[in-house]
Amino acid sequence: MNIFRLVGDMSHLLAIIILLMKMWKSRSVAGISGKSQILFAIVFTTRYLDLFTSFVSIYNTSMKVFFIGTSYVTVYFIYQHFKPTYDSNHDTFRVEFLIVPVGGLAFLVNHEFSLLEILWTFSIYLESVAILPQLFMVSKTGEAESITSHYLFALGSYRALYLLNWIYRYYFEGFFDLIAVVAGCVQTILYCDFFYLYITKVLKGKKISLPA
Amino acid sequence: QPPKDAHDEL
């Protein structure tokens, strides 16, 4: 464990808590893409299947349980509990255009041709594009609530910090995972436009409107 | 073969 990965995990945790608090306090899921949240639930489910077979640490296991649990609660909030406030007309990204290519790529490009490893690779590739429905929805609605912007900033920062973690681990531990690094770069690059708007607008008290 | 200490990250 290193500071970059720890801060990254905390940023990820914060993003999830911000989202749940926004939904619970405002009793609304307006502006939130249910499709992205479904993709995140798939990402965690396929990545953490080793939850019961390989123990890394208490921290690792408890975070995995938290991420899986909250991802399903979030999907439940959107499609059941606060369904009347779900804006399905603006959440129209065709996720099959993400899942099929990502599934095919995971089958072809992976570290080991085993079920668990292919599912882990699928999860890594899927996570890199899972935010697209949400960014697409923000561009369609033309703006995002500031709380949603904070959620996106924390979520985008987590994988950016993981890039620093991989640089650290390469030099100090000789650890290098090309699949995770490439997907992490793609994932972080997708947030660049949003990061720019967040820093130039939201931090000055303005609202975000995409496309800028 | 997965990298050393495979998938010890979240």
Over residues A74-101, mean pLDDT:
98
A54-67 as b/e: b if 16+ CB within 10 A = eeeeeebeebbebb
Count how many Cα atoms sit within 13 Å of the Cα of residue A149 in the half-sphere of its side chain.
Answer: 24
pLDDT at res. A168:
98
Q: Is the pLDDT of residue A1 over 70?
A: yes
Indicate whether A212 pLDDT > 60.
no
Please tell me the predicted confidence (pLDDT) of residue A204.
87
Q: Is residue B6 predicted with pLDDT exceeding 70?
A: no
> For residue B3, which residues of chain A lie inside 8 Å, CB to CB?
111, 175-177
Phi, psi of B4 (to 5 degrees): -50, 150
- Facing residue for B7 by CB, picked from A50, A63, A176: A50
A162 and B5 within 8 Å at the Cβ level: the answer is no
Q: What is the per-residue pLDDT across A175-207, written as a single tens digit (0 to 9) for each?
A: 999 999 999 999 999 999 999 999 998 888 888
pLDDT in tens, A18-47: 999 999 999 999 999 999 999 999 999 999
Confidence of residue B2 (pLDDT cuts 50, 70, 90): low
pLDDT surpasses 70 at B5: no
d(CA A51, CA A68): 10
Residues of A in contact with B5 (CB under 8 A): 175
Q: Do A176 and B3 touch (CB under 8 A)?
A: yes
Q: Is the pLDDT of residue A165 over 80?
A: yes
Residue in B1, B5, B8, B10 to test binding to A, most A beta-carbons within 10 Å: B10
Give the CA angle between residues A111, A116, A119 to the nearest 5°: 80
- Which of A54, A162, A177 shows the shortest C-beta gap to B3? A177
Comparing A79-93, A107-121, A191-205, the range with the smallest average pLDDT is A191-205
pLDDT of residue A142: 87
Beta carbons of B9 and A63 less than 8 Å apart: no
A105, pLDDT greater than 90: yes
pLDDT at position A66 is 98
Whether chain B has a CB inside 8 Å of the CB on A115: the answer is no
